[in-house]
Structure 1
Amino acid sequence: MHRDAIILLGVNHKTTPLAVREQLALAGGYEDPLRDLGQLSAIKEHFLLSTCNRVEVLFTCARELVEDAKKQVLELLFASRVSQRELQQYVYAHLDDRAVEHLFEVASSLDSMIVGEAQILGQLKEAYRFASKHRSSGLVLNKLLHKSFSVAKRVRTETRIGASAVSISFAAVELAKKIFGNLTDKKVLLVGAGEMAELAAEHLVGQGVAQVVVANRTLERAVKLARCYNGKAVALEELLDQLEHVDIIISSTGATDLILHKRDVRSVMRERRNRPLFFIDIAVPRDLDPNINELDNVYLYDIDDLNNVVELNKTERDREALKADRIVQEEVVKMHQWLEGMATTPTIVELRNMVNCLVEKEVAKTLGRLSGLNKNEQQAIERMATSIANKILHHPMQYLKTDHHCISQSERIGQVRNLFQLDHNKQDFAR
């Protein structure tokens, strides 16, 4: 009467080099691997997750087939792509509660490269849609995956794990929000086409900025980048003219000298009637004159400033991660109790059915011998018999449902089944 085992096999950014993860990634999507896993004799339910940072397979199997199931899954998904030595070195295996805990950590972004990032939950839900479509997940994995989504939501709601910027680009946007508040009517000027500047622009677009203007030495590159943000492209020579109309400037060129000085910005501020202007200098060496920061209503942050913000926020996020971990542990206990309940349910149902059958037969015999009883008297005897049966069943039921440190669940189930002879023919109970 053992419940099925829950197993999770995988590799991630913590355990496995990128070169190995690339070989194991499901480049062709989930369709074929899900179908192939469904052909394995040892496993029952299965689910796959493949992202840039991890490849994981979650499945259930009969407890006596755990090792066979692990071997079959490894051979199908991983063994043909990497060596046996790499399999042993990099692939981790989690069983039952530890598998549940790991899944909850992944969903809550506690196992991510950047703790608290929100992208992984969307990837997890997308992978689950494929599993549902192929009907590869059943009662246990459906419950487990839905629970992982609710755990992630609880972590987001009860902690501030995702509130602090932990990337340079996100830190820049958070600073802009502190200066301007709502960014929906603001215009952004992207100077150069550095990767971090692009990421900052993506974050700003996500906050609903009104317009993105791209200035670059190569106009063709500026046009392509502007198209990504439904913006417009200008030549780098138009930089000063554009300063009059924009609110946020993100600079990331490869220039060896400063491209903007304090005197340039001072003249622009007169034209702007002193409306705030926010500069983010992500270039190394710097694009912007540090003295610009001395002007009224002008705010300049360079990459060191942003790094300081990120480091402070990482410390804050680590504190929030401790709270999130407590939530995960609580939810693992709840999931464990649900799974334990699944194992005892068949015995509880059989025990209840057996006793109900005995009550019905004995009440029928008794009423057959007692002639002249009216309907109310007959019902009183039936209620009395049912009440006695329920009181007798109370302690065996509690014994099955309640954890005992000294006696395992399987032992408790076996004891109750032996005591009440549940594995005998039902006709034997009725004699």
Structure 2
Amino acid sequence: MKLVLLGVNHNTAPIDVRERLAIPAGRLADATRTLAHQPGIREGLILSTCNRVELLTVQESDAAQNSDLLRFLDEYFAVPASTIQPHLYEFREREAVRHLFRVASSLDSMVVGEPQILGQVKESYTVAREVGAVSGTLEGLLQRAFTVAKKVRSETQIGSSSVSIASVAVDLARKIFGSLAGKQVLLVGAGKMSELAARHLIQQGAASILVANRTPERARKIVAQFSGPGLSSEVIPFEELYAQAHRADIVITSTGAPQQLFGRAHGQQFIQKRRGKPMFFIDIAVPRDVDPKMNEVEGCFVYDIDDLQQVAAANLADRGREAAAAEDIVSSEVDRYQQRIQSLGAVPAIRALQQSAEEMRQAELARVATKLAGLTPEQQAAVDALTRSITAKLLHPQLVALREKPE
């Protein structure tokens, strides 16, 4: 069996590639099940976030070719392999383990230290278990990844402040306006990202938050959380989105819609209703909610998730020391995991060697049993203990060599 990881992320692929591979939460189970049923694949997990799509698989060693995974991407997403391949990275065995540990620990995130990625990995794991795509190898590996991520959080300050894509988006809005005091913000989409954005917006002085979501209950839940003195919050019925969106100075979108919600024509309508006042769109959805051509409309300014990288880079510089400490933890944990896997692989040989040695010891004791018959029970116990000790010492170098034998 071979561990193979194939994927694209914000470092290797632009958003127009990533959004073609993005998997909505409602389709993740089907996609994972389809992956696990591919020829030669014994176990599989798919991690799909706004910044990455990765396939983690356990494959039969003679079938461990990335062409199989490329074919899956081609067939499932209807995206030609030639389009994806220039942006792909592939990791195997030890390097796949290292990559997974780094991802779960938020060392490979656009915003290093953001806490959301671990929850996203856990969600993918839960889905994969539910469809029967995870068993022995990936079960143990993922559990270890969760432990490593927790260790990084507890032993470094990499997550000392609340940082996420949502907070970076709000930081960008603050830099654009100078101040968010008195600004009206529209959140389109009521998921976790929108909740985080709302919290940061309130901290920065936003006076009014509008929430639009296809499921009204979710929108009302967010509004209820953030209603209070000095803060106005309101649910916008989704069917009235286009009629009321112009009220917002800042629109933050994070839906899972398969097609874009806002196009160039919408921008022209909004600016006309706002009498030329500028309107800023921060699109943190993948696939994107806002057509980038809206930037061509005078007064409309659109920033997508890739535009947040500049802000994230400054964050990374501030956290360099903690990130280095976290990398050391990951490297140490990769070594420990590999040693454990190698030891597990040697277990049958170790047991056979120990059993053979014990049989020889018992045979020798039986051969001289008549000579030992005159010994007291205490003396016989001492002889038994002595022969066990000698056998263990003779076996020790061989057992160590088996455990440390490279794969």
| 1:281-338, Cα deviation, whole Å (9 max, x unpaired) | xxx99xxxxxxxxxxxxxxxxxxxxxx9988644212343222222222221111211
Aligned partner of 1:359 in structure 2 is: 361
Of 29, 33, 43, 1:31 maps to: 29
Quick one: structure 1 residues 33 and 309, their matched pair in 2 at CA, closer, same or farther if it must change by over 3 Å? closer
Quick one: structure 1 residues 139 and 202, their matched pair in 2 at CA, closer, same or farther if it must change by over 3 Å? closer
Aligned partner of 1:336 in structure 2 is: 338
Contact 1:108 1:151 in 2 (8 A): yes
In structure 2, stretches of 5+ residues that fail to align are 175-179, 211-217, 233-247, 251-273, 279-297, 300-309
Deviation, structure 1 residue 225: 8.1
Of 230, 233, 237, 1:246 maps to: 230
Aligned partner of 2:52 in structure 1 is: 54
Contact 2:43 2:135 in 1 (8 A): yes
Following the alignment from structure 1 to structure 2, what is the Cα–Cα distance between the partners of residues 232 and 35? 39
- Alignment partner of 1:14: what SS? coil
Which AA in structure 1 matches 2:140? K
Aligned partner of 2:157 in structure 1 is: 160
| 1:59-105, Cα deviation, whole Å (9 max, x unpaired) | 223444423xx333332344552223224312221011111111111
Contact 1:34 1:131 in 2 (8 A): yes
| Bigger Rg, which one | 1
Following the alignment from structure 1 to structure 2, what is the Cα–Cα distance between the partners of residues 108 and 377? 57
In structure 1, stretches of 5+ residues that fail to align are 174-187, 217-223, 234-241, 259-283, 286-307, 403-407, 411-431
Quick one: structure 1 residues 21 and 398, their matched pair in 2 at CA, closer, same or farther if it must change by over 3 Å? same
Report the identity percentage: 32
Alignment RMSD, CA only?
Answer: 4.2
Aligned partner of 1:230 in structure 2 is: 224
Contact 2:28 2:46 in 1 (8 A): yes
Following the alignment from structure 1 to structure 2, what is the Cα–Cα distance between the partners of residues 72 and 20? 20
Aligned partner of 2:170 in structure 1 is: 169
Aligned partner of 1:192 in structure 2 is: 184
The answer on 1:72 being equivalent to 2:74 is no
Quick one: structure 1 residues 151 and 143, their matched pair in 2 at CA, closer, same or farther if it must change by over 3 Å? same
Contact 1:190 1:201 in 2 (8 A): no
Aligned partner of 2:260 in structure 1 is: none
Following the alignment from structure 1 to structure 2, what is the Cα–Cα distance between the partners of residues 50 and 11? 10
Matches within 5 A, 1:115-154: 115-154=112-151
Following the alignment from structure 2 to structure 1, what is the Cα–Cα distance between the partners of residues 39 and 337? 26
Following the alignment from structure 2 to structure 1, what is the Cα–Cα distance between the partners of residues 40 and 209? 59
Deviation, structure 1 residue 107: 0.8
Matches within 5 A, 1:276-425: 313-367=315-369, 370-402=372-404, 409-410=406-407
Which AA in structure 2 matches 1:104? F
Aligned partner of 1:427 in structure 2 is: none
Which AA in structure 1 matches 2:353? L
- Alignment partner of 2:58: what SS? strand
Following the alignment from structure 2 to structure 1, what is the Cα–Cα distance between the partners of residues 356 and 149? 42
The answer on 1:214 being equivalent to 2:208 is yes
Following the alignment from structure 2 to structure 1, what is the Cα–Cα distance between the partners of residues 378 and 221? 84
Query: What is the count of residue pairs matched by the alignment?
Result: 320
